[in-house]
Structure 1
Amino acid sequence: MSLILFTNVHVLDVRHGRLQENHHVLVEGDTIREVSDRPLTSASARVINGGGRTLMPGLIDCHVHTTFSQTNLGLLAQTPNTTLALRALPILRGMLRRGFTTVRDAGGADYALKAALEDGMSGTVLGPRLFVSGPALSPTGGHGDFRPRSDRLQPVGCGCQRLASTRVVDGVDAVRLAVRELLQMGADQIKIMSSGGVASPTDPVNALGYSVEETRAIVDEAAARQTYVLAHAYTPEAIRRAVECGVRTIEHGNLIDAPTAKLMAEHDAYAVPTLITYEALARDGVRLGLGAESVAKIEQVRAAGLHSLEIFRAAGVKLAFGTDLLGASHNLQSEEFLIRAQVQTPAEVLRSATLIGAEVLGRSGRLGEVTPGAMADLLLVDGNPLQDLTCLAGQGEQIALVMQGGHIRVGSLAA
């Protein structure tokens, strides 16, 4: 089993928000074996001198769409899966270069893409470790229904039609079957649409999605396989309905109010804000092909973004890091750090992208920390992110090395 020894590094303790100076870290295989403030020795280890850089855990993005290579999601409906997967490859490589060693795909990526990345030990396909949802579930006319308005609406056939990496499915029995199918096909968690959204053409942002009965059925089926549900939801009413039905994470939540945030905290529900995507869509959405109906809805949620962070934070809701970027805007992923820093401290933002992300994924102790027994997902960073998060911005220019599961994916610092 391979041994790699990091010397002359300052280890970022994200749990306590501090740098542990002049430390040494020994990696055995895919796991961190030892972290010490005293020199470690191993005759068989490859030694990497960190040069006084920060050694920190790999980053976790809990809301990505790795197969959404176009901004106009309606155009993806007719794109073959093979084409979607091939277009995803540079998107995945970019995420890894920016230091994201694990991501949760919130709709689109499937088990096959996840398996290809896990086989990446051979070097064929490189990218973050994937937790996949498969196609998100949407009611007719909801955020996953990209059919245009027409007097001859394309039928959904058996009630479970795939449209732009979503499934339009209605009714308690039908959603139960859909969840069972997704889990059989390898989904790690289930994504549902609990409110209207920006990218879909016919649903107002404040529209409600699945009914209480449908949502409870979906949550029940996920729980039967020891997993959970994440819900796209913007408004207090939609968020409240989802949380009271047992949904674990609320995606976006821009229009949250204080009483609903308090309810989330009481139910130990997580929030996954995705503020950078609204900045990207407001700036370039039209140029990148976003439909006119969607453009009109952007400002409503964009303007409320920072205030939602304040409300979540005040209520004690745990905030995971998410981005939700589409098409050509994927390269803005790390700009979410700078938006969050307008409300949260750097330590809080870093915990969102490490410890809290690991909690959401059910991988506490294995991801998101530089501690013995954790996966060896490690970054060597020029600078101290506790003082200035810009060292994590851009395309990884200040990240000298990316290790994932004990394999060096980016960089090759000599001993």
Structure 2
Amino acid sequence: MKLDPRATAVTNVRILDPEAETVSAPTTLRFNGDRIASVGAAPAPGEEVFDAEGRIAAPGLIDCHVHVLANSPDLGSLGDESPAYLTACAINTMQGALRRGFTALRDAGGADFGLARAADEGLFVSPRLFFGGKSLSQTGGHADMRGPGNALVDNHQCCPHIGLVCDGVDEVRRGARQQFRTGADHLKLMLSGGVASPTDRVDSTQFSDSEILAAVEEAEAANRYVLGHAYTARAINRGLRLGVRSIEHGNLLDEETVRLFLEHDAFLVPTLVTYQRLKADGARLGLPAASQAKVDDVLYAGLEALRLADRGGVNIAYGSDLLGEMWEYQSQEFEIRAQAQSAGAVLRGATTTAARLLQAEGDLGILAEGAYADLVLLNANPLEDVTVLARPEESIHSVFSRGALVED
């Protein structure tokens, strides 16, 4: 995969606006480096152009919940892998996402400053990567991947575990400051149990109020924010009241949760496709038996939770949370969400709403002067049928990243 920067203008292109839910008449997009220089101005004499032939340009898609280093659903095994090997796997994973039109990814645990720097410097072709470093977990929490008989934990920054085990306010502060010291864009807390961890219940709550508040305070001090892994209403509502800005998964939320999302202008990031794939492929791909038994606890409630949040006007961003070989189904989340949301709402979740969550308004999620030149040329109009995005091999004609055509 490489970038071809020769064309600095895309002509005869119709621009999709996710907020207005409109598609423009044919026009011209001109680039200046990795930014959009103008919309509508004619190309300069002799300027290299790419003729879109009337196709629709959508803003580059954003996936707000990924784990690019997780090459297996057996997350406990990642700490035994070579960081160099997992980095190579991550490059393949990120480039696969770019082929599917995802020009920005928010990693929700595992990716570090080195991988983000390499992507930003163009050492390999990839989406933009927003990283959080290691997730913070209490002992026995969702990112504590030790089995019940293993007393050893390796919290070294370069060990490729997805989490850092912290107990008590001082350790949580230290863990948060360590991630922000490396330049992390956000901080993830495990607020409840989960599927892929061996020793916690999905319906458990994790961390004390004072520990959560400490993490939120550190994030605010760094002008960053906290995202919280949570399934049950009890865990979600507690996190929202304490200042967590983004709730990941949220399959078992309730009416009170919706009220709290609105009160705090917080974001929900459902990840429905991952439960379908864990159910179908988890055992074959190494998901431990204890985790397989927990999939049903969250699988069937997720779609109704999405409907409830959508009806209530919650900020909902796109997430997939796929692991290992399951990444090929990243775009299937569009098809699932179409069962509960309008086409425009689904699109905003992967563009404008996602950009607000990433604190990248005006840069990502739109095609306008001054925004990043990340776009997807489509053969079909997703405002008429958003499920076309679930079939990227048919619907995507070309992808532009950082103002250059992606060539595979």
1:90 to 75, 83, 92: 92
State the Cα distance separating 1:161 from its structure 2 match: 11
Per the alignment, residue 136 of structure 2 pairs with 137
- 2-structure distance, mates of 1:372, 1:217: 39
CA shift digits 1:39-71 (9 cap, x unpaired): 723114211111111111100000000000011
Say which SS state the counterpart of residue 183 (structure 1) adopts.
helix
Per the alignment, residue 372 of structure 1 pairs with 369
Structure 1 segments, 4+ long, off by >3 Å, are 155-163, 394-397
1:23-62 equivalences in 2 (<5 Å): 23-36=27-40, 40-62=42-64
| Amino acid aligned to 1:106 | A
More displaced, 388-397 or 288-297? Answer: 388-397
Tell whether the 8 Å contact from 1:381 to 1:391 is kept in structure 2 after alignment. no
Tell whether the 8 Å contact from 1:254 to 1:273 is kept in structure 2 after alignment. yes
Say which SS state the counterpart of residue 140 (structure 1) adopts.
coil
More displaced, 391-400 or 285-294? Answer: 391-400
- 2-structure distance, mates of 1:20, 1:233: 40
Per the alignment, residue 221 of structure 2 pairs with 224
- 1-structure distance, mates of 2:401, 2:277: 29
- 1-structure distance, mates of 2:155, 2:34: 44
Tell whether the 8 Å contact from 1:3 to 1:44 is kept in structure 2 after alignment. no
More displaced, 351-360 or 402-411? Answer: 402-411
Say which SS state the counterpart of residue 21 (structure 1) adopts.
coil
- 2-structure distance, mates of 1:157, 1:66: 20
Tell whether the 8 Å contact from 1:2 to 1:29 is kept in structure 2 after alignment. no
Answer yes or no: is 1:168 the counterpart of 2:175.
Answer: no
Per the alignment, residue 313 of structure 1 pairs with 310
More displaced, 380-389 or 161-170? Answer: 161-170
1:78 to 72, 77, 80: 80
| Amino acid aligned to 1:410 | E
Question: Where do 5+ consecutive residues of structure 2 fail to align?
Answer: none
Per the alignment, residue 200 of structure 2 pairs with 203
- 2-structure distance, mates of 1:27, 1:159: 42
Per the alignment, residue 22 of structure 1 pairs with 26
1:221-370 equivalences in 2 (<5 Å): 221-370=218-367
- 1-structure distance, mates of 2:240, 2:259: 11
Per the alignment, residue 4 of structure 1 pairs with 8
State the Cα distance separating 1:192 from its structure 2 match: 0.8
State the Cα distance separating 1:157 from its structure 2 match: 7.5
Tell whether the 8 Å contact from 1:66 to 1:108 is kept in structure 2 after alignment. yes
Tell whether the 8 Å contact from 1:196 to 1:203 is kept in structure 2 after alignment. yes
- 1-structure distance, mates of 2:100, 2:277: 18
- What fraction of aligned residue pairs are identical, expressed as a percent? 44
Tell whether the 8 Å contact from 2:131 to 2:185 is kept in structure 1 after alignment. yes
Say which SS state the counterpart of residue 121 (structure 2) adopts.
helix
Tell whether the 8 Å contact from 1:160 to 1:178 is kept in structure 2 after alignment. no
State the Cα distance separating 1:160 from its structure 2 match: 9.3
- 2-structure distance, mates of 1:2, 1:373: 20
CA shift digits 1:107-131 (9 cap, x unpaired): 01101001111121xxx41111000
Tell whether the 8 Å contact from 1:61 to 1:104 is kept in structure 2 after alignment. yes
CA separation of 1:329 and 1:157: change in aligned 2, threshold 3 A:
closer
- 1-structure distance, mates of 2:155, 2:356: 36
Say which SS state the counterpart of residue 52 (structure 1) adopts.
coil
State the Cα distance separating 1:360 from its structure 2 match: 0.5
Tell whether the 8 Å contact from 2:61 to 2:102 is kept in structure 1 after alignment. yes
State the Cα distance separating 1:155 from its structure 2 match: 3.5
CA shift digits 1:263-291 (9 cap, x unpaired): 11111110000000000001111111111
Per the alignment, residue 385 of structure 2 pairs with 388
